[in-house]
Structure 1
């Protein structure tokens, strides 16, 4: 009876060890996936920041053009004569 019990315990421990090994491998894969996603988010954030900078630059240039051509004052004067909803 003692031999059967020891063999059974040994088999159960081997199964548990295999399951733990499988779980560790899955955890490593998930960690790599998370790191990959984190890197992609950082790249996207950099792209968004670059676009924001470009938009600010374009907005500044447009404002200078409007001021130089005196379009802003013309638009403000024109808006007084347009009907408001």
Structure 2
């Protein structure tokens, strides 16, 4: 699902009442959803996508729900790409 994803982070919402981060950005290519793993194109850090926010899709802008344990890896201005085949995160096995 994530092989050709290209996502540019424009905002990170770290809301104390939520169990996860909300990450807004532009989906330049591909598709992403629950269980996807994205990789920071510069650092190689893996970011686990838990789902899409209910008001996630506004044109090419999306808000991803990201595992809170990945908070230090998600930075505004970074480019997230699809994880190489075989490295996807499975929410059922976490």
User: TM tier, shorter chain?
Assistant: under 0.3
Largest Rg, 1 or 2: 1
**Larger RCO of the pair (alpha carbons < 8 Å, separation 6+):** 2
Name the structure with the higher helix share: 1
* TM-score where L is the length of structure 1: 0.14
